Structure formats: structure tokens, C-alpha cells
């Protein structure tokens, strides 16, 4: 397996521009896209050129830097006006994942005491780089905690894509898989397609096969049959926002897998960093669910494949906390009751 440290990051910073792997083109082409404007950042996040809660957080942070760089010769006042506008635009690009607004706000806040536009840019850049580095370390820790938690587990079902394409490191849910493989433990993955945009089929299957990890693709509607067959020992998924009580928003279809896993007494784990937990909301009822264009369901490959009827296309669903066995985080494994274990994980000065 290729070591995570040798893999290209999904989002990379080059001082005056961002380079991302264009995930809309995979697996057909692996192509880098250069982004050097705030408009480009917002467009890339909205169109899923870059996706995954941690990755869009990093991209958004560097987007703040790009926005400020245009104010290099201006006054502090004009730079702060630009910063406020840029932060709002980037944070609103996708509403469900908490990592994006949190990273944007953190990067903007780092400039608060700067005395010049140049110093604001420097501080914002250093903060964005710190967010990226912390994300990479979070992936490593999640992988190690998950490997220990799933000792003896070989066959894992996952949903969407939660690996190096979606994070700053080797991944969250897939980070657990990579950690097991790196330790020489046998592991194989059943990847659900993740309709309608097929992140599991296009991205997870490509990523794992490229890393030499056995992966079998199933459609989303096959999860019941595959769990009933005894082929799944655990389900491990990522998360885009976790409420204080443990209710979890993740890619649409996750809730279905959780219900089926519960029916078959199969452990269902959610893997993610504390940056994806939102203590400001008490339950999943408060999570804003992004709705995507109807064309994503009606069309495939630029061609309409469905009847022209109304479409409901939520990008995420919410899995109730009582269906989640445990959270695998960069602070360890959190277990029920989550109303106690989640807030406790943020104690002792832990930075959200």
C-alpha cells in the first residue's frame, strides 16, 4: 500500500494559488485544477470539484487567503471589508458540513490584531496551513484509534468517499482501512455506489484499488442483501456534521445503511475529527440539509436517463444517535451516552 505521506493531497497551496484534484473527472482522468480566485474556490466547492467536509474546510481557508491577497496594497480597513465579504461567500458555498464555515471563521479570526494588509495575509496563510496540518494529523489519529477498535474485523462496508480525496491526510473512515493495511492486518472493503453522484463507485473504488486494498463495489440498494449474507462485519462511514446528542449528517443513503446494520446486529461506526462536531446544535433536527439540482438525478454523463418528473435531491441525511455504535475521532472512541461523551471530548482546551 502507498504510504499516506507520499500521496498527493486533495488540496495543495502554492503561495498564490490552490491546486486540487478535480474529483468530477475521476476515475476516467486524474487531473489537477488551478484555483486563484475566490470565485474559483466557491465554484469548485459547489460543483464538487473538491469535496469531503475536511477538504472543503481546507480549501475554504486558503480561499480566504486568496481573497486577501488582492488587498496587499490597500489599507487595513479595506482589507477587513474584503475579508468580511469573502468569508461570507465562501462559508455559504455548501451549508451542511460544519468544517467549511468553521475553517473560514478561524482563518479570518487569525487576522484580528494585524496592523497592515500584508500582516493580515501572512496571518491568514499561516492559519490555513495550520488547519491543513492539523487535519492530516487528525486522519492519522482516527486511523490508529479505529484500527484498535476494529481489531479482528476484516470486512468493512463504507459509503461515499472518506479517504485522501476528502481530507488533508489518508482519510477518516478510509483512514481506518489504511491504518489496518499499513499494520499488516487483513482488510477488505465493500463500497456502496453512493447515488446519485457515485462517489463510492467513482472515488472510493478507484482510491482503494490504486492503493492495493481489496474492494468490492455494490449498489446502495444491495446493502441489506450483503449484510444478510454475512459478508459485512462492521460499517464505517464519515460525517459532515454531528450534533451535540450524536445525531449525524452524512452523505444521503447513510441512514439506510445504519437501519439495515441495526437490523442485523452489525456495528455501525462514524469516523471523523472533532472539527466536524457542532456543540451549538442539540440534535439533527437543527442541521440544514443541502438540496442539489434535479439534473444530478435525471442525467448521467451529460445525457438525460430518467423521465422528466419532479426530483427531490437532498445531498445528506441524518442518522439518529441511537443507531451509532460509536464515534471514532481524533480524540479517541466516543461511546453512548453521546450527550455526555461528546462534550467531554472538547474539554481540557481542545480546539474545535
Residues 219-233: tens digit of each pLDDT: 999 999 999 999 999
**Using one digit for the tens of pLDDT, what is the confidence trace for 189-206?**
999 999 999 999 999 999
Q: Which residues contact 302 (CB under 8 A, 6 or more apart)?
A: none
pTM of the full structure = 0.93
**pLDDT confidence of residue 314:** 98
Place of cell 468553521: 102
pLDDT band at 351 (very low <50, low <70, confident <90, very high): very low
**pLDDT confidence of residue 1:** 43
**pLDDT confidence of residue 180:** 98
C-alpha grid cell for residue 89? 461567500
pLDDT over 90 at 347, yes or no: no
- Mean pLDDT, range 9-25, rounded to an integer: 95
C-alpha grid cell for residue 127? 492559519
The answer to whether the bond into 189 is cis (omega within 30° of 0) is no
pLDDT over 70 at 275, yes or no: yes
- Please give the share of the chain, as a percent, with pLDDT higher than 90: 93
pLDDT over 60 at 349, yes or no: no
Region 4-137: CATH code: 1.20.120.420
C-alpha grid cell for residue 153? 474485523
pLDDT over 70 at 135, yes or no: yes
Distance CA 191, CA 82 (A): 43
**pLDDT confidence of residue 2:** 43
**pLDDT confidence of residue 5:** 44
Q: Under a CB-based contact definition with an 8 Å cutoff, are residues 137 and 167 in contact?
A: no
- Please give the share of the chain, as a percent, with pLDDT higher than 70: 96
Other residues' Cβ atoms within 10 Å of the Cβ of residue 3: 10
142-345: CATH class: alpha beta
- Mean pLDDT, range 241-269, rounded to an integer: 98
**pLDDT confidence of residue 301:** 85
Q: Under a CB-based contact definition with an 8 Å cutoff, are residues 188 and 214 in contact?
A: yes
**pLDDT confidence of residue 3:** 46
**Using one digit for the tens of pLDDT, what is the confidence trace for 45-72?**
999 999 999 999 999 999 999 999 987 7
Virtual torsion, Cα 271, 274, 280, 281, nearest 10 deg: 0
DSSP string, 236-273: EE--SEEETTS-EEEETTHHHHHHHHHHTT--EEEE--
Q: Under a CB-based contact definition with an 8 Å cutoff, are residues 216 and 30 in contact?
A: no
- Mean pLDDT, range 143-159, rounded to an integer: 98
Positive or negative, the CA dihedral 347, 246, 338, 258 is negative
Residue 271, strand partner residues: 328
**pLDDT confidence of residue 350:** 45
User: Quick check: is 240 catalytic?
Assistant: yes
Virtual torsion, Cα 83, 87, 90, 96, nearest 10 deg: 170
Average pLDDT, rounded, for the chain? 94
Task: Spell out the domain ranges in the chain.
Answer: 4-137, 142-345
**Choice among 240, 247, 278, 330 that is catalytic:** 240
**pLDDT confidence of residue 101:** 96
**pLDDT confidence of residue 7:** 61
**Using one digit for the tens of pLDDT, what is the confidence trace for 158-193?**
999 999 999 999 999 999 999 999 999 999 999 999
Helix (H, G, I), strand (E, B) or coil at 295: helix
Amino acid at each position: 500500500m502507498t504510504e499516506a505521506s507520499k500521496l498527493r493531497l486533495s488540496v495543495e497551496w502554492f503561495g498564490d494559488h490552490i491546486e486540487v484534484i478535480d474529483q468530477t473527472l475521476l476515475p476516467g482522468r486524474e487531473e489537477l485544477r488551478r484555483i486563484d480566485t475566490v470565485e474559483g474556490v466557491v465554484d469548485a466547492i459547489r460543483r464538487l470539484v473538491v469535496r469531503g467536509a475536511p477538504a472543503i474546510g481546507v480549501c475554504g481557508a486558503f480561499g480566504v487567503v486568496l481573497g486577501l491577497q488582492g488587498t496587499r496594497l490597500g489599507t487595513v480597513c479595506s482589507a477587513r471589508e474584503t475579508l468580511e465579504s469573502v468569508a461570507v461567500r465562501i462559508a455559504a458555498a455548501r451549508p451542511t458540513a460544519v468544517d467549511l464555515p468553521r475553517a473560514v471563521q478561524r482563518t479570518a479570526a487569525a487576522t484580528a490584531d494585524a496592523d497592515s494588509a500584508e500582516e493580515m495575509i501572512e496571518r491568514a496563510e499561516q492559519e490555513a496551513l495550520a488547519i491543513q496540518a492539523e487535519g492530516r494529523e487528525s486522519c492519522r489519529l482516527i486511523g490508529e484509534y479505529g484500527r484498535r477498535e476494529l481489531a479482528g474485523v476484516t470486512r468493512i462496508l463504507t459509503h461515499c468517499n472518506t479517504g485522501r480525496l476528502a481530507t488533508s491526510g489518508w482519510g477518516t473512515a478510509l483512514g481506518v482501512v489504511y491504518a489496518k493495511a499499513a499494520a499488516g492486518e487483513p482488510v477488505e472493503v465493500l463500497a456502496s455506489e453512493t447515488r446519485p453522484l457515485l462517489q463510492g463507485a467513482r472515488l472510493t473504488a478507484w482510491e482503494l484499488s490504486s492503493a492495493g486494498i481489496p474492494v468490492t463495489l455494490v449498489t446502495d440498494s444491495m446493502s441489506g442483501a450483503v449484510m444478510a449474507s454475512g459478508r459485512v462485519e462492521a460499517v464505517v462511514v464519515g460525517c459532515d456534521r454531528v450534533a451535540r446528542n450524536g445525531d449525524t449528517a452524512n452523505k444521503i443513503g447513510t441512514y439506510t445503511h445504519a437501519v439495515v446494520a441495526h437490523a442485523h446486529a452489525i456495528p455501525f461506526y462514524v469516523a471523523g475529527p472533532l472539527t466536524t462536531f457542532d456543540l451549538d446544535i442539540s440534535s439533527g433536527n437543527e442541521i440544514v440539509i443541502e438540496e442539489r439540482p434535479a439534473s444530478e438525478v435525471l442525467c448521467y454523463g451529460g445525457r438525460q436517463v430518467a423521465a422528466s418528473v419532479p426530483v427531490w435531491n437532498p445531498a445528506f441525511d441524518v442518522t439518529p444517535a441511537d443507531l451509532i455504535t460509536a464515534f471514532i475521532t481524533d480524540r479517541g472512541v466516543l461511546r453512548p451516552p453521546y450527550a455526555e461523551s461528546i462534550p467531554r471530548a472538547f474539554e481540557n482546551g481542545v480546539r474545535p
